[in-house]
Amino acid sequence: MASVGLCQWAPLIVGAACVAPLAFVLVCKPSLGLGVLPLIKPKDLVEATIVVTAFVVLCFAVQPLWVFSWLEALKGGQHILPVAYSPLGWIPALALLRWRDPRAMLILTLACIPQNPGVSHTLALIFVASTWQQSATLALGQHVAWLVGLTLIETHTFDQWGHYARALDLVFIYLPAVVILMADKDRGYFSQGRTCESRNQNTKGR
């Protein structure tokens, strides 16, 4: 809801990371595109790389200086900071305790990329969940962070609100994601490919 209301790229980019032929969309917002790279499965990595490379070449052919324009826009955005840029920034770092789990890399990359304050960029964290209960917990956390943030934006400057918004994201979204990561050995989305491969091997064995 927040992403649609604010015309954010997050839903489109998260979806593109899961579908290799659409990986070119990641280039449209490079910071968030980098954050969702862990969603690309190993079997799709080559195809996604080819698609992204071809699109980048096309972008430079159409507008050779687009990178400099993008970097200049970033300089003017003092509010564009990593969510880890907070006194509570140690929360996503706890994912390092499960560094072999690809979901840990997803949490860490999303926490470390520069982004606008708010919940829209946390959408990809829903892939940390492996059950509907876990998905509901993360979705509820996103709604709580969004609603509390709305009550604060009217009584604070935008920079002050940005600090509060990052703290809300860390407490209500990143912390539950880390808890799920620690407690759940089922990798959910990241185990689907492996599960299919094991089923095929079992079928061949029979």
pTM comes to 0.80
136-194 pLDDT, tens per residue? 999 999 999 999 988 887 777 777 888 888 999 999 999 999 999 999 877 767 775 54
User: Domain boundaries in the chain?
Assistant: 2-205
Using left for φ > 0, alpha for ψ between -120 and 50, and beta otherwise, residue 140 falls in alpha
Distance CA 36, CA 26 (A): 8
Q: How many residues does the chain have?
A: 206
User: Is-contact 91 148, C-beta < 8 A?
Assistant: no
When pLDDT is averaged across residues 77-81 and rounded to a whole number, the result is 71
Share above pLDDT 70 across residues of the chain, in percent, rounded to a whole number? 85
What's the pLDDT score for residue 2? 53
Average pLDDT of the residues of the chain: 82
What's the pLDDT score for residue 76? 59
User: Is-contact 34 13, C-beta < 8 A?
Assistant: no
33-75 pLDDT, tens per residue? 888 888 888 888 899 999 999 999 998 898 888 878 877 776 6
Q: 29 or 140, which is more confident?
A: 140
